[in-house]
Structure 1
Amino acid sequence: MRSVKSRILAGAAIGLALVVQGATGAAAAGVLNLYNWGEYINPEVLKAFEAETGIKVNLDTYGSNEEMLAKVQAGGTNYDIVFPSVHMQDIMAKLDLLEKTNINTYEGFKHIDPQFLRAKSDPKGEYCLPYAWGSVGIVYNREVLGKDITGWKDLVATVSAKDLKFTLLDDMREVLGVGLILNGKSVNSTDAADLKLAADTMIAMKPHVAAFTYDARPMVQAGDVAAGHFFVGAMVDVFGAPEKLGYVIPEEGATMYQENICVLKGAPNKENALRFLQFYTKPEIVALNIAQQTNGTANVPARALTPDNIKNSEEINPPADVMAKLQIFEDLGADLRKMDRVWTQVKTAQ
């Protein structure tokens, strides 16, 4: 899901020299093996960590929570750190795959906004460190639509009137989440009646859906579609062409994602992994990362250090009334199969 999170093409105003000022060079030795979503960390952050600690960082990437979990469970890897979504962290905790780090006792943890300690398995932050978060809304081409839009109902009405198309994510929970939200239901509901309402709502949209895809951004930029269901990382495109493109958190509500930094129980380099978690509590480091990623952060002082376009963006940093409309996925356990069946109906409906 997060493999398509955008990287900002214009570099951050935060200088790397400030980040590594006072670095100790080869103060530590060894390696650290990260397994993260594709394009979900600024390479400059890894360079800064290497410069400060002398620890060599190796980065491998995945495209979904499920891909990551399968590889970790299969064994045979040397990964130290993974970046699961909150509901996947809860699943991994049940499977006893995560190391208790006590990162919440580290001095830098004071920077973390407590509302982002969202994992039910880790309410105090004893295992994992909040990494990044954002909304899942609509990126749109206002030149094609001829207007700004306010949400899903407005988008559907507009494309219907103008015979236009938009895309939806090729993601079961995100798409059914839209259907559930539009019917006033929880995105974690597995009630049969709720799921039928959600499926019917999304099937009704299909005449206007060009594709289920993670590749909406270039399609919207080119005007091939009017809009796309997408992550707030698309703000990188909006910042690059503000007169042409927009991103909206639908007024009806939306899903949100959050990933955390977790150390695997089988990590071969646990001390180096803990060093990275501690390093990532530094506001200047977090700000360097967020400036490239255009995500939100749980690190409160880091928000003030990001470039003005990010700091002042209500799409990236929504006000309280909008935050209240955002829902995050939970681990559904065996009930996830109920969604699978409904998702098949949505994808195959003509």
Structure 2
Amino acid sequence: MRKIRSALSRALGAALFAGAALMLPAGGAQAQQELNVYNWGDYINPEVLKKFEEQTGIKVNLSVYSSNEEMLAKIRGGATGYDIVFPSVHMHDIMAKLDLLEKTNINQYEGFKNIDPAFLRAKSDPNGEYCLPYAWGSVGIMYNRTLLGKDVTGWRDLLETAKAKGLKISLLDDVREVMGVGLILNGHSVNSTDPEELQQAADTIIAMKPQVAAFTYSNRPMVVSGDVAAGHHFIGAMIDVFAHPQDLGYVIPEEGATMYQEDICVLKTAPNKENAIKFMQFYTQPEIPALNMAQQTNGTANMKARELTPENIKNSEEINPPAETMKRLQIFEDIGDGIRLYDRLWTKIKTAQ
């Protein structure tokens, strides 16, 4: 999740990595010493993959996607070369319903004791028999303090300030994240399928559009450059905030926000299942998710890993929100056929003048 479910700019990462993604193996003996990882763009520290290769001698081939839907369409469309995917929790449940995931019994591995049970969020996998919690974070507002002339506290504060100063903002190009903002601002669940609540949420977003420059995953560079005053983004935006603390900020809106969580799952069609399970086991080692967090600035379910992260991450209430803030965060669930109404309203939002 959400999505940091990157916590970084996923579509931008996809563009950066797509050209470098390695070809999937054709099969045979060579494939036994390879692992084909299919992840969100720029959502894993390359040093993590390097350490896995060093520890196991297994070559990692990385390919990337920019959304849960893109990944699912590729898998359902017949792609059989991938071993590991990183679905958000609600997509984990959807893929389980479609019988796409391999039972790994990762919960029986010794290192699983490091996993905080609170992160076993998939309704289809409450004991962690299939997948391993990977990373999580909030989806809030990254803002340019220099342009706004202040720190903002939430969506209403941001919109009022941007309008008064004639500034633009950007929103994620993601139907559920954007509709989630509209639902939260009207006091509703981000998993609502009530037509009236959804229409109200869509109307709220449409009313924002005079201040919206773009629906995009490239919010981070736009905020850094000053092309927009603020962007709707994942906690991975803290990379830029740490680099420019005087000019940039990130806030979990006072009205509430969504959070994301991705899990590491092995596909039933995986050609290298043993290698895939070895990677899951490898990722239970506290120093590995800690290494990932240091570069990704998101959260981890690995309790011991939290103590190994750099001080700026460990002490950040944006990355590790206090209990009171956590109460304001909602996570997406599988809403079944309700997504069709979201899609219809998304079209209206995009085309509204």
With normalisation by structure 2, the TM-score equals 0.91
Q: How does 1:134-283 map to 2 (within 5 A)?
A: 134-283=137-286
Indicate the larger mover: 141-150 or 340-349: 340-349
Quote the RMSD (CA, aligned, Å).
1.5
Cα distance in 1 for partners of 2:228, 2:76 equals: 39
Cα distance in 2 for partners of 1:321, 1:127 equals: 31
Deviation at 1:77, TM superposition (A): 2.8
Deviation at 1:3, TM superposition (A): 10
Cα distance in 2 for partners of 1:215, 1:271 equals: 36
The partner residue of 1:41 within 41, 44, 51 is 44
**Structure 2 counterpart SS, 1:160:** helix
Contact 2:40–2:67 (8 Å) recurs in 1: yes
Alignment identity in percent? 74
Amino acid at match of 1:342: L
Amino acid at match of 2:38: Y
| Alignment pair present for 1:83 and 2:82 | no
Deviation at 1:101, TM superposition (A): 0.6
| Alignment pair present for 1:117 and 2:120 | yes
Contact 2:283–2:289 (8 Å) recurs in 1: yes
Aligned length: 330
Contact 1:141–1:244 (8 Å) recurs in 2: yes
Contact 1:220–1:227 (8 Å) recurs in 2: yes
The partner residue of 1:313 within 304, 313, 316 is 316
Cα distance in 2 for partners of 1:142, 1:104 equals: 44
Deviation at 1:170, TM superposition (A): 1.1
Amino acid at match of 2:122: A
Cα distance in 1 for partners of 2:291, 2:7 equals: 16
Query: Which residue does the alignment assign to 2:298?
Result: 295
Query: Which residue does the alignment assign to 1:25?
Result: none
Contact 1:4–1:214 (8 Å) recurs in 2: no
**Structure 2 counterpart SS, 1:157:** helix
Post-superposition CA distance 1:173-219 (Å, at most 9, x none): 11110000001100010101101110111111111111111111111
Query: Which residue does the alignment assign to 2:18?
Result: none
With normalisation by structure 1, the TM-score equals 0.92
Contact 1:3–1:40 (8 Å) recurs in 2: no
Cα distance in 2 for partners of 1:53, 1:224 equals: 45
Deviation at 1:5, TM superposition (A): 4.1
Contact 1:3–1:37 (8 Å) recurs in 2: no
**Structure 1 counterpart SS, 2:167:** coil
Deviation at 1:4, TM superposition (A): 5.8
Q: Unaligned regions of 5+ residues in structure 2, if any?
A: 10-31
Cα distance in 2 for partners of 1:146, 1:46 equals: 41
Query: Which residue does the alignment assign to 2:337?
Result: 334
CA pair 97-171 structure 1, distance change in 2 beyond 3 A: same
Query: Which residue does the alignment assign to 1:133?
Result: 136
Q: Unaligned regions of 5+ residues in structure 1, if any?
A: 8-28
Deviation at 1:76, TM superposition (A): 4.0
**Structure 1 counterpart SS, 2:334:** coil
Amino acid at match of 1:182: L
Contact 1:133–1:297 (8 Å) recurs in 2: yes
The partner residue of 1:31 within 34, 39, 44 is 34
Query: Which residue does the alignment assign to 1:6?
Result: 8
**Structure 2 counterpart SS, 1:93:** helix
**Structure 1 counterpart SS, 2:342:** helix
Cα distance in 2 for partners of 1:224, 1:81 equals: 37
Post-superposition CA distance 1:44-101 (Å, at most 9, x none): 1111111111111111111111111111112243111111111111111011000001
